[in-house]
Chains A and B, each alone.
Chain A
Amino acid sequence: MAYTKKVIDHYENPRNVGSLNKDSKTVGTGLVGAPECGDVMKLQVEIDEQTRVIKDAKFKTFGCGSAIASSSLATEWVKGKTIEEALAIKNTDIVEELSLPPIKIHCSVLAEDAIKAAIQDYLKKNNQEEKTA
Chain B
Amino acid sequence: MRSGTLNVPGIVGFGKAAEMAGRLMSEEMQRVSHLRDLLWEKIKANLDEVYLNGHSIERLPNNLNVSFAYVEGESLMMGMKELAVSSGSACTSASLEPSYVLKHMGVGEDLAHTSIRFGLGRFTTAEEVEYAADKVIETVRKLRDLSPLYEMVKEGIDLKSVTWTGH
What residues of chain A have their CB less than 8 Å away from a CB belonging to chain B? 1, 3, 8, 11, 14, 17, 19, 31-42, 60-65, 67-68, 103, 106, 109-110, 113, 117
* List of A residues within 8 angstroms of B11 by Cβ: none
* List of B residues within 8 angstroms of A117 by Cβ: 165
Q: Is the CB of B78 within 8 A of A34?
A: no
Report the Cα distance A37→B165, complex, angstroms: 10
**Overall SS of chain A's interface:** mixed
Q: Is the CB of A61 within 8 A of B110?
A: no
Interface Cβ pair total, 8 Å cutoff:
86
Given A1-B94, A33-B164, A103-B96, A38:B148 Cβ within 8 A: no
Residue B138 is within 8 A (CB to CB) of chain A in the complex = no
- B113 — nearest CB in chain A belongs to which residue? A38
Q: Is the CB of B148 within 8 A of A110?
A: no
Given A14-B146, A103-B96, A60:B74 Cβ within 8 A: no
Interface residues of B in 53-98 (CB under 8 A from A): 70-72, 74-75, 78-79, 94, 96, 98
Contact of B113 among A8, A35, A103 (CB under 8 A): A35
Report the minimal beta-carbon distance from A107 to chain B, rounded to whole angstroms. 10
Report the Cα distance A82→B67, complex, angstroms: 41
Report the minimal beta-carbon distance from A45 to chain B, rounded to whole angstroms. 15
